[in-house]
Structure 1
C-alpha cells in the first residue's frame, strides 16, 4: 500500500511518517510546500493550492493523509485559512478522483465546536469562534458533500484536541515551558478542564484507521483521558520535574486586558507574539471533548496521558 501525506513536514506529519517508515507494510511519500528536516528523501515540494501538481504527485497512491493546514492563531491575511484549508480540500479531492484514489484520512479539529461547550461528541453542532475553526468546518462540509456523491469512498476524519509531545513548539509547549521555568501566572481559577492529545497516540490512531477502517465515512473526536484542569497540569509538571512550582493567580478580566495590550503591541511591532487575547481566552476556556467513539473503535492508545507528559517534559525540560 502506498500512502501520500499532504503537509507532512510539520510536527504531526514528521512523527507519523517516522512511525510508518518503521514497517515494511507501506510505502510513503510526503508532499509539502516546505522540505522536511527529518524525511527529505521522500519529500516532494508541492502546494495543496496547486491542483495540477497534486494530480501529478498522487499518481499510484492508495491512501491520502491530509494534514496540510493553516492553523496558527495569528495567520494573516485571514483568507489564507480558507485558501489552504477549504480550497486545499477541494483540490485534493479532485486530484484523488483524477488518479482513482478513494481513501482519505483527514485531520480536522475540535475547534469546529467552539469554546466552553459541554463535552461535545461528534454529533454536537458546530460553533467555531475563530477563522481556523470556521475553515476546518467548511473543509468538512466540502468532504461531506463529496462523499454523498462518492459513497464508495472511504473517509476517516479525526478531530483532535490540542496536540502535544516532544519537539512541539505550540501552545502546550509554551505553557509547560512557563510552568517549568517558574514564569507561569495562572489567569483565573485554573479549574477549567482541557482535553489533550499526546502525539504518539494521535499518529498511532491515524495508522489504526488506515489499517482497520477501510470502508465508509467516519468522524472521531480524539483526546486522551483523564481530562486535566490547568491546576492539574501545574501539579503534574512539578511532580514529574521534581520542582516546587510557584503559581501567581490573576483575575480573568485583568488577563484579557493584558492580552489586548499584547495584540496592540504585536500590531505596532509587526511581529507575532506568544501572548494574545485569543490565547488568553483559549487558556481560560473549558475545552473538554467527548472521545468515547474513538476509544470504542478497537484502538488502544500506546501511552497514557501522564506517560505522554512525562516523555515530553523529560525531553524538553529535565536538565
Structure 2
C-alpha cells in the first residue's frame, strides 16, 4: 500500500513512518518544514494551506494518514488553529476524494472532549475548552461527513492524549516536567491530585498499527491512552525517584501561584517571550483529563509498555540526550 503522511516531519510521524516501511508500505510525505529522516520514498516541502500542495502526489496514494496540525500552549492564535487544523484538513480531504483515495487515518485528540475527572469514552459529546480542541473537533466532523458521503471508504479516527517518549520535542508537557525537575526549577503547584491520561509513543504506535490492520468500511473512532491513569503527584514522584531524589513534601497553593502566572502572561504578551510559568499551564496541570480506552482493548489490543517502563525510558533518554548523563 502507498500511504501519504501529512505532517511527516513531526514527532509521531518519526516513529510511524519507519514502522510502515518495515511492513512493506511505500511512504510519501508532505510537511511545511524539511524532513530529516531516511524512510520516505518521496518528500515534498509544502504548506497544506495551499490548495495545490498535494497536486500529483495524492494521485499515487492508496491511503492518507493525516497528522499535520497546529498544537501548542503558547504563541498560536485561534485563527492559526482553525487554519492549520480545519482548513488544512478540508484541503486534504478534497484532494484525496478527487484522487480516489479510499482509506483515511486521522489523528485527532481527546481535547475534543474536554477535561473530565471521571473517565469518558468515544461516545462522549464534543466539549472542547480551547481553540486546539475545538478546531480538531470540527476537523473530525469533516471526516464524519466523508464517511457518510462515501460509505465505501474506510475512515479511522484516533484520539490520543498527551503523547510523550524518547525524542519528544522540548515544547511537550512531559519534556517540560522532566526538564524542570532535573534543573531544580520545579515547584509543585496545587495538591497533585489531578488525573492525567497519557499516551507513550511506542504504545500509541502499536495501537495505530493494530487499528490500521482492522479498518472497516465507514467511520471508526478510538481513544488511545495508557493504563492506568496517573495523578500529577504520582508522575512528579516517579520522575524524582528516577533521579534518585525525594519529591517535594510541600506545594504552592493555586491562590498564590495564579496571580504570579497572570503577571508572567502579561510580560510574555509584551516581550514575546515564552516563559515557563503561564496561567494556562498552571490551570492545565491542575485539571483532570481522564479518558477510557477500553474499546481498543476489548478488541484485543495489549499495551506493550507499562507506565513505569515508559517513564523510565523517557527520563533516561532525556538525561542522556539533553545533559549527556546517565541515570
Aligned residues: 318
Q: Is the 8 A contact 1:220 1:294 kept in 2?
A: yes
Residue of structure 2 equivalent to 1:50: 50
Cα deviations across residues 173-225 of structure 1 (Å, max 9, x unaligned)? 10122223332211111011111100111122222222222433111111001
Residue of structure 2 equivalent to 1:172: 174
Task: Give the secondary structure class of the aligned counterpart of 1:249.
Answer: coil
Separation in 1, partners of 2:199, 2:9: 19
Separation in 1, partners of 2:232, 2:13: 27
Match of 1:291 among 283, 290, 293: 293
Residue of structure 1 equivalent to 2:315: 313
Q: Is the 8 A contact 1:155 1:218 kept in 2?
A: yes
Residue of structure 2 equivalent to 1:302: 304
Residue of structure 2 equivalent to 1:29: 28
Q: Is the 8 A contact 1:6 1:68 kept in 2?
A: yes
Deviation (angstroms), 1:247 = 4.9
Is residue 90 of structure 1 aligned with residue 90 of structure 2?
A: yes
Separation in 1, partners of 2:308, 2:8: 26
Residue of structure 1 equivalent to 2:259: 257
Residue of structure 2 equivalent to 1:227: 229
Separation in 2, partners of 1:253, 1:295: 40
Residue of structure 1 equivalent to 2:245: 243
Deviation (angstroms), 1:117 = 4.5
- 1:257/1:55 CA distance change after superposition, 3 Å: same
Separation in 1, partners of 2:278, 2:16: 30
Q: Is the 8 A contact 2:116 2:291 kept in 1?
A: no
Separation in 2, partners of 1:247, 1:33: 45
Separation in 2, partners of 1:47, 1:298: 38
Residue of structure 2 equivalent to 1:19: 19
TM-score, normalised to structure 2's length?
0.92
Residue of structure 1 equivalent to 2:153: 153
Separation in 1, partners of 2:206, 2:308: 17
Task: Give the secondary structure class of the aligned counterpart of 2:282.
Answer: helix
Separation in 1, partners of 2:55, 2:301: 33
TM-score, normalised to structure 1's length?
0.94
Residue of structure 2 equivalent to 1:130: 130
Separation in 2, partners of 1:215, 1:273: 46
